[in-house]
Amino acid sequence: MDVLDPLLDPWRSGLDRRALLEVVMLGAFCGALGFWVVEERLTYAAESLSHGLLPGLVLAAIAPAPLLLGAAGGVLVAAALIAVAARDERVGPDTATAVVVTGMVGLGALLALAPGAPPRLEEILFGDPLGVTDGDLVAAAILLTAGGVALAALRRPLTVTTFDAAGAAALGVSPTLLRLVLLGLLAAAVAVAVQGLGALLALAVLVGPPVAVRGMAAGPGRAMVAGAAVGALAGAAGIFVSFHAGIAAGAAVALTLCLFAAAGAALAAYGVTGRSLSRRA
């Protein structure tokens, strides 16, 4: 018996090793992307996409086809429907989006509970990191690598656009194009994140880390790095907790992410900032 055993045991178990890899990769990318999701006020869009893709996931489970394919298709359909519905100015975009998303969740539940459908609704809604496939791991690795490169390259244009859209346009940066790119990254992140965390809990990995580091980070670049670190750390912590306490892994990861967010928000509320920390050091 080694003192490190509690930390290493999940790694030694093949199932949990894959879960650990999946949530660390997801946490790292979504934690960085989440800064822009929160700053560009896209949280509601992220939630809508992650819930609205449910019918796509269920159809993939029924087919059966790779869930990632179903998630990607579901995201596209949900985004298109939301875009159309949000144009109704009498209802307003928020309400129209809520109607579309609730309808999609209803449709997804209807399909999943139909006779003959495989009993995977629980996994699809609440996630099952322990059930990730090799394909899921490859998708997460691609998301982390390609998305990470894209975020690093777009850091300066995104910064000026978020800070001052009119000024950005005068500098030759297109706010519309950047927002589309950001939405594309968000859609990709949601489609991959629901594999491990489920349609209802995937949002935690996108908004938990940026909220946790919001008061601390001195700039967009540092906020992305800190968000990535918190996302990976909180994801891993969730898997450890689930391993040792024998609780559902997806839920444990989501709860750990939200606890980090609450802790970060509390620290910020008490005036602890990155600057005050470095002043003390």
Partner 1 sequence: MTGGPPSDEGRAAAGGPPGGAGRAAPGGPLSDEGRAAAGAQADEAARVTPGPAVQVEGLSAGYGGEPVLRDVNFVLDAGRSLCVLGPNGGGKTTLFRALLGELATQAGQVHVDGRPAYVAQTDRTRLDFPVTALDVALMGTLAHGRWWLPARRADREAAHAALDHVGLGAQAATRFGELSGGQRQRALLARAIVQNARVLLLDEPLAGVDPASAERIASLFDELRGEGRALLVSTHDVESARRFDLVLCLNRRQVAVGPPADVLDTATLQTTYGSEMIVLGDEAGRAITVHHHEH
Binding interface with partner 1 (CB under 8 A): 39, 153-157, 159-160, 162-164, 166-174, 177-178, 217-220, 223
| Closest distance to partner 1 from the beta carbon of 181 (Å) | 9
Q: What Å distances lie between residue 112 and 94, 100, 185, 193, 202, CA to CA?
A: 27, 18, 28, 20, 19
- Tell me whether residue 202 or residue 223 sits nearer to partner 1 (CB atom): 223
| Closest distance to partner 1 from the beta carbon of 213 (Å) | 10
- Tell me whether residue 102 or residue 176 sits nearer to partner 1 (CB atom): 176
The rounded distance, in Å, linking the Cα atoms of 245 and 127 is 18
Tokens at 74, concatenated: 């579901």
- Tell me whether residue 3 or residue 170 sits nearer to partner 1 (CB atom): 170
- Tell me whether residue 156 or residue 244 sits nearer to partner 1 (CB atom): 156
| Closest distance to partner 1 from the beta carbon of 268 (Å) | 12
| Closest distance to partner 1 from the beta carbon of 74 (Å) | 29
- Give Cβ neighbours of residue 84 (< 8 Å, ≥ 6 apart): none
- Give Cβ neighbours of residue 52 (< 8 Å, ≥ 6 apart): 74, 75, 77, 78, 79, 81, 82, 100, 101, 104, 105
